[in-house]
């Protein structure tokens, strides 16, 4: 699963369940800024963090695996 699709599923589930980024951050023992970045696909969770997130949001193992993938590299604009 691509990180973008994973992020969309996570945000949808988060919204439906009315769970805040802070609640998820507290559950995995991470800072809310890092957690937000990870959920949006800009950082990779470890296996335990991904499992906890998917349990909270009731998402499947495909999302759990995607949360553990390294974020895609982005090209910086040339000036």
Q: Given this model, what pLDDT does residue 75 score?
A: 65
Task: Output the domain CATH number for residue 56.
Answer: 1.10.260.40
Query: Does some domain include residue 49?
Result: yes
Q: Give dist(CA 53, CA 64) in Å, integer.
A: 8
- What's the domain range around 15? 3-67
Of 73, 18, 17, 30, residue with least CA distance to 39:
30
Query: Does some domain include residue 20?
Result: yes
When divided into structural domains, the chain yields a total of 1
> Which phi-psi region, left, alpha or beta, contains residue 45 (left: φ > 0; alpha: ψ -120 to 50)?
beta
Query: Does some domain include residue 18?
Result: yes
Q: What is the pLDDT along the chain (79 residues), one digit of tens a residue?
A: 888 999 999 999 999 999 999 999 999 999 999 999 999 999 999 999 999 999 999 999 999 999 999 987 776 676 6
Q: Given this model, what pLDDT does residue 21 score?
A: 97
Q: Given this model, what pLDDT does residue 73 score?
A: 76
């Amino acid at each position: 699963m691509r990180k973008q699709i994973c992020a969309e599923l996570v945000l949808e589930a988060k919204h439906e369940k009315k769970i805040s980024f802070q609640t998820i951050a507290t559950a995995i023992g991470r800072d809310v800024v890092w957690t937000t970045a990870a959920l949006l696909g800009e950082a990779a969770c470890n296996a335990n963090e991904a499992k906890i997130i998917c349990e909270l949001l009731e998402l499947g193992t495909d999302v759990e695996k995607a949360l553990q993938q390294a974020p895609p590299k982005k090209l910086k604009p040339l000036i």
